[in-house]
Amino acid sequence: MHISSFALLFFFAVLLYVLHRWHRGTDSLAPAVFAGLLLGSVFGATLQLSRGWGAMPGEILPWIEMLGDGYVSLLYMLVMPLVLTSILVAVVKVSHTQALGKISVSVLAVLLGTTAVAGLIGVTMAELFGLSAAGLVEGSREAARAEVLNERIGRVSDLAIPEIIASFIPRNIFQDLTGDRSTSVIAVVIFAVLLGLAALAVRREFPQEGAAIERFAHVAQVWVMKLVRLVMSFTPYGVMALVAGLIAKSSWGDIVNLLGFVLASFCAIGLMFLVHGLLLWINGVNPLHYFTKVWPVLVFAFSSRSSAATIPLNVETQVDQLRNSPAIANFSASFGATIGQNGCAGIYPAMLAAMVAVPLGIDVWNPLWLGTLIAVVVISSFGIAGVGGGATFAALVVLPAMGLPVTIAALLISVEPLIDMARTALNVNGAITAGTLTQRWLGDEVPGAEVVEG
């Protein structure tokens, strides 16, 4: 290893120590996460500049990514135990099963409704910035990506909506607990609900055994939440490593070449954050207070680019900071990680559809065409979990359904990581917004929803 690489690794270790001292000196996670974001940005920029000093970032990045990827793996480890125990306890404590149906309908209504708005904003931004697929250039990376997409589109096009919905139903719960399928989170939610309903039936017929089941479920949840809080304490260091790696690997030349698309995407994402804030304000939630409490979750979502990995931090923040019911928090976080994602399933495919439609002579403001696009975007947002892959697969569903080519998804590969960070943060915020609004609407109908103290 080059001597300068050793020096940079030592510098990274020093920054980790500084962050550790800062983290120990504060009771709140938020300042430490922000410090990790700043230090990670500094180190990532240093790695970018180090190429001119004779250093070899390729020698350093695997060590940095080891820390970031290891933290993300720990979060993935938490997802299934957290979803299973939390929703099981929520169902056992909510004696009125009608409330569970209302929670599900409310959360899905917000997720899908905001996805429709996101699709409309995506089209609007594409038009305002004058974006068109006609000016994009295909290089070797883009050509290779196009081949992959053309191979995958065959599998996606064969999926019908009934098949996608059927994939939510668990067949082998042990397989789904490993996260083997793209719909495993929803499958575990369904299993936990059914298991909870069975526990309610046992409690009605055999009160003593029912009480034992409820006690066991509560102990399991407390145990898992202790594990969640233990892993959450590593969040600042994970964020620092993830951000450093992302900045170090970014190609600023590619970003400049596609600057119009990048700016339009960030403007659309920013507008959707404003829409979320407006919905909260209309329903009596102070947006400033809300974003102050949730921004550590958004920072992690931004740096990790994973809605699923953000579920534990999402649930903990909803319960501890926003005081949402654990039942509502778990339903919204779980559904929001796979259904109705505002950024990946709303803004992105709608923007691509508008960019492709323009050179084909299609009037994107034609009410029939625009209405069809928004309907396809909303319906396909259910299907993203069924095929896996996030924004790209959303485009593979929407574009063919509108009779449009999918090649454009390959032409934007060079700026995908940068935009995907913001899209993921928006997806997660949409899930938290859905939970918070549902709490405002149904809070009195969810009895026994106590906060599990750490």
Q: pLDDT digit string (tens) for 191-221?
A: 988 998 899 889 889 999 989 998 998 899 8
CA distance 423 to 266: 9
- Pair 340, 380: CB distance under 8 Å: no
Q: How confident is the model at residue 386 (pLDDT cuts 50, 70, 90)?
A: very low
Residues 6+ apart with CB under 8 A from 367: none
Checking if the pLDDT of 78 tops 90, the result is no
Beta strands in 247-399 (DSSP E): none
Nearest residue to 277 via CA among 419, 109, 117, 430: 430
Tokens 């959707």 belong to which residue?
272
Q: What pLDDT sits at residue 388?
A: 41
Report d(CA 234, CA 448) in Å as an integer: 31
CB 19 within 8 A of CB 216: no
Phi, psi of 122 (to 5 degrees): -60, -45
Coil vs helix vs strand at 115: helix
The pLDDT of residue 8: 83
Angle between helices 416-442 and 235-249 (to 10 degrees): 140
Closest CA to 77 of 179, 171, 220: 179
Predicted pLDDT at 449: 44
Q: Are 145 and 413 in contact (CB under 8 A)?
A: yes
Give dist(CA 70, CA 65) in Å, integer.
8
- Domain 3-445: give its CATH code: 1.10.3860.10
How many of the other CB atoms lie within 10 Å of CB of 172? 11
Whether the pTM exceeds 0.75: the reply is yes
| pLDDT bucket at 438, cuts 50 / 70 / 90 | very high
The per-residue pLDDT for 367 is: 93
Other beta carbons within 10 angstroms of residue 441's beta carbon come to 16
The amino acid at residue 222 is: V
Q: What is the mean pLDDT of residues 145-151?
A: 50
User: Would the pLDDT of 443 be above 50?
Assistant: yes
Higher pLDDT, 371 or 413: 371
pLDDT of res. 252:
63
DSSP 325: -
Instruction: Give alpha helix (H) positions in 129-139.
Output: none
pLDDT value of residue 52: 57
Nearest-CA neighbor of 349 among 431, 424, 265, 430? 265
Residue 128's pLDDT band (cuts 50, 70, 90): very high
Within 94-234, residue ranges assigned H as helices are: 98-128, 140-157, 161-166, 173-177, 184-205, 207-232
More confidently predicted of 308 and 432: 432
pLDDT at 34: 83
Give 45-77 as a 3 state SS string: HHHHHHHHHCCCHHHHHHHHHHHHHHHHHHHHH
> How many C-beta neighbours within 10 Å does residue 235 have?
24
**At residue 421, does pLDDT exceed 90?**
no
- What mean pLDDT is reported for the chain? 81
- pLDDT band at 427, cuts 50/70/90? very high
Residue with more model confidence, 272 or 97: 272
332-354 mean pLDDT: 88
In this predicted structure, the answer to whether residue 246 has a pLDDT above a threshold of 90 is no
Q: Grade residue 448 by pLDDT with cuts at 50, 70 and 90.
A: very low
Nearest C-alpha neighbor of 442 from the set 98, 99, 193? 99
Q: How far apart are CA 247 and CA 124, in angstroms?
A: 29
